[in-house]
Structure 1
């Protein structure tokens, strides 16, 4: 399905209006951070929900719900006040290749981070300053594993442009935290990263729809592909290119692309 540039903006804007809606939340992993009202809880469970977001959405939501229960329904309090017995309650958790070794290190990182900062946004900034999403993702991965006991196996769960990953899950997390509109889906609680700088998450559905519309020309799906797609989306809306994530995802399901 190839369209002229004159038509593609109005078509995708219509689909954004259709899919960027509160009804989107129920069957999407973003429903997990929406269970909470405190920003730290939203950050923590948004982080887990995005990083665990591969496979069937129903399974992802169920596993995140299990994680909330293991945190006693209070993720931030668990991260900051847990003892050894509390950590034992995390043993046995697994989702695909993510296991309790990874989970224990994630909790360890979050505890160390929140002992110094009030928001996870600071882990993506250089002493409070934002430069680019690419810089932020590289910086975050380095900060996340800047600890002598970091398990090597856990590195595969935090993507970085340095490995030429499309960084789908971490870009999705940034979308949730940064985008700010009146639709009630994304949270918009981070103010130092501009939504105009966000990079569009590319999952299988977004990839297929983008290729059908001619928004992606690269054969492989990697970091350069994410930049190509986002660059084309910025031509449609320079201030909020990643809003089209909703349209592209929904189109793939609507037309079975």
Structure 2
């Protein structure tokens, strides 16, 4: 398949899967419950944080997280007291437990109270061609308060060769803007051209079959290789192809 045919094939798959019907089977349905900007981004960030493993389990546990936040994530995070966190005990999603959840609530409050929120932190360190350095710096801000060492493993660092799939997925949700109603596009200050593909086993396997990716591991170096290939297909919105790669892998067994 030459470059022109590949682009036409993937563009068609983007159109097929970048559709509101995609929402009902995807974790992105959780932030779609909300209309306030801060609620959307907090719900999106927490959902993306636990987005590994069985998709039904991810969605079920993300709903539980919103229930524990009284279905008002921003208000709860900014105004909770210590006693309000007692009900978190017993929450668990794989290796992310109630102690991690409580840590994330405290760290998110710190970001909104002292650094103008999630969007401002990522924007501050965005480079002209990538957000991967911004993700690295975000981790410093997130854990600059007193924190549990164990919770740090739940925020990836691209500068340590992580593909940072979950944070890149969250950033796609917040930054990508189109008229299809799946991604939110509420972060107007960051260009979609800077986004990186959420690289996981599905998108990685499809990318290799389509010769967009040669590296065998799904790590930071593979992400750079895939980003480079996708930017050649669409420099302004490279991560729209996540819909194609994911859809081909999960729904079509490509």
TM-score class, shorter-chain normalisation, is over 0.9
- 1:249 paired to 2:209: no
- Which protein has greater RCO, CA pairs closer than 8 Å, 6+ apart? 1
In the alignment, which residue of structure 2 is the partner of 1:170? 167
- Whole-Å separation in 1 of the counterparts to 2:49 and 2:172: 13
Deviations along 1:118-177, whole A, 9 cap, x unmatched? 431112133xx6323121111101111112x21111111000112210000000000000
Runs of 5+ consecutive residues of structure 1 not aligned to the other structure = none
Aligned length: 252
What aligned pairs does 1:1-257 form with structure 2 within 5 A after superposition? Answer: 3-126=1-124, 130-131=126-127, 132-147=130-145, 149-257=146-254
- Relative distance call for 1:7 and 1:200 in structure 2 (3 A) is same
Runs of 5+ consecutive residues of structure 2 not aligned to the other structure = none
* TM-score, with length taken from structure 1: 0.95
* TM-score, with length taken from structure 2: 0.96
Contact 1:41 1:75 in 2 (8 A): yes
- The CA deviation at 1:204 is 1.3
- Whole-Å separation in 1 of the counterparts to 2:22 and 2:209: 23
- The CA deviation at 1:220 is 1.5
- Whole-Å separation in 2 of the counterparts to 1:228 and 1:247: 17
3-state DSSP of counterpart to 1:202 = coil
- Whole-Å separation in 1 of the counterparts to 2:250 and 2:171: 23
